[in-house]
Amino acid sequence: MKPLAGLRVLDLTRVLAGPFCTALLADLGAEVIKLEPPSGDDYRHIGPFVQGESALFTLVNRGKQSIVLDLKDPAAQTTARAIALACDVVVENFRPGVAARLGLGPELRSENPALIYASISGFGQTGPDAALPAYDLVAQAMSGLMAANGEDGGAPLKVGESQGDLMAGLYAGWAILAALYRRGQTGIGATLDVSMFDALFSLLPTSHAVQFYAGQTPQRVGNRHPLSTPFGCFDCADGQAVIAVLGDRQWQGLCGLIGRPDIASDPDLSRDDGRTRQEPRIRTAIEGWTGTRPVAEVVAALAGAGIPTAQVQSLAEAAASPHGVARGLVTNLPHPVLGTAPTVGQPVWFDGQKPMASRSAPALGADGPEILRCFGLAP
């Protein structure tokens, strides 16, 4: 199952947002040509390393071909431009204006109107902050995400993973597929402007509801939900269990399980907003039951009662769990140095199959001669 087989993508990106986007396209069968400078993508030089190979680069550049061109050289710019004009999609994440100075900007579409040109940047191609340098931490800080994330009464806290990069890459892939659909109807491509800042801001619907509808400033509440209760982590005898109750049926089931008919019948706690106002009271009642029992027993009892629950798992536990294995979370792909490399691909199943790149990340410039021959270009 390769729904994007036949699609040719020129990847002018580096580090994370752009490479993540193009890796998703490669998973679906697109031919992705990664253009790198002589020193390689910056991520090739960021650890952890295994046999000299960057794990981060390997994970987000699966399924691609690599060609080395020094874009400081006008002849290399000419070659890159010829490749770009023969592709269906170009993806870049230079600072705004840099691609155009190299002759690889969206003006390519004047020569190939069917081209889909996607730019990924920190703050977009327009606006007063467009030229600012941006890393994920900067985008998280400016978007409102950090302000709403953290312990109750604590300082703003960033999300551990680079969500700004990843969400911008995901949105770019989504937009490229939408543009491909339109091109199939009209023959006309698109110029796409994807911003890490915009992407993160769009993914805060709970904060949007609190700010724009309730007229309140979103507050940091740690692991509990800001609007729903009980919805968070609860202490057990040997750890914590997650309990997520939404709606009266689950609330009544939980109260019956923990032996608290008094709070089940309390009219002040009959609605979600009322329970949230009295969250400390409800937490005390729940932990009076969970606190004397091991996590495994608590989770089993809650699950048996139809209440969403879980033990907090490590990444290794999630990958090795029977469900994680059944869902194919991790796949070993052929790698030119490592032999095989653990790879986490796109998560969607198509007609019972999970599309995945056929190989891991390429060696620097390994496919250059073949790519030039394919495009009829001289070395």
Q: Quick: pLDDT tens for 255-303.
A: 999 999 999 999 999 999 999 999 999 999 999 999 999 999 999 999 9
Residue 217, pLDDT score: 96
* pLDDT at 111 > cutoff 90: yes
End-to-end CA distance of the chain: 34
Q: In this predicted structure, what is the pLDDT of residue 379? A: 81
Is residue 331 very low, low, confident or very high in pLDDT (cuts 50, 70, 90)? very high
Residue 225 among the catalytic residues:
yes
For the chain, give the mean pLDDT: 96
pLDDT at position 252: 95
CATH superfamily of 231-313: formyl-coa transferase, domain 3 (3.30.1540.10)
Pairing of strands 231-236, 239-244: antiparallel
Task: Check for a shared fold between 8-203+325-374 and 231-313.
Answer: no
Nearest to 327 by CA among 306, 344, 313, 308: 344
- Domain definitions of the chain by residue range: 8-203+325-374, 231-313
Average pLDDT over residues 198-225: 96
Give the Cα separation of 117 and 183 in Å (integer): 12
* Tokens read off for 79: 């070659």
Per residue in 215-255, pLDDT (tens digit) is 999 999 999 999 999 999 999 999 999 999 998 999 999 99
Cβ(90)–Cβ(118) below 8 Å: yes
336 preceded by a cis bond (ω within 30 of 0):
no
- Please check whether the domain covering 8-203+325-374 is classified as CATH 1.10.1040.10: no
pLDDT reported for residue 339: 97
Write down the pLDDT at residue 1.
Answer: 78
Give CA–CA dist 106/343, Å, rounded: 32
Among residues 45, 208, 225, 335, the one annotated as catalytic is 225
The CA distance from 129 to 48, in Å, is 33
- pTM to 2 decimals? 0.94
CA-derived radius of gyration, the chain:
25
Share of the chain above pLDDT 70, in %: 100
